[in-house]
Structure 1
Amino acid sequence: MNTDRSSRTFDVLEALAGQPEGMSLTEISQAVGAPVSSTHNQRTRSRQRSTTPRCARD
């Protein structure tokens, strides 16, 4: 995993940690300043590895 991807993963986790109700994919993308498509790919990889739970707004 390259450094940018690792950094973005932690950015997403930090954004989600502050939102107990969950966030939509668009909200996450806006919070981390990444395209929706990139955020979707990152979340898909994270779920496959069981590193992020599904949130209420998925």
Structure 2
Amino acid sequence: MFERPSAVQIHMRTHTGEKPYECPHCHKMYPSSTNLNRHVRQVHGEDVPGSSSRPARK
């Protein structure tokens, strides 16, 4: 059971393989903005302003 509908959507990506968030530096894709922001901080050494990334548009 999930408290928020958005949590269900993020969880479903583990089953579908959807990764709508793209790193602006290396173009690696992530299933959530949280994972993307962690990657940007750890790999590229940058703070993520506001940390509210939007999904990549295809």
Structure with max Cα Rg: 2
Structure 2 length normalisation: TM-score? 0.30
Q: Which has the higher contact order (CA 8 A, sep 6+)?
A: 1
- TM-score of the pair, normalised by structure 1: 0.30
Task: Give the number of the structure whose residues are more often strand, by fraction.
Answer: 2
Q: Higher helix proportion, which one?
A: 1
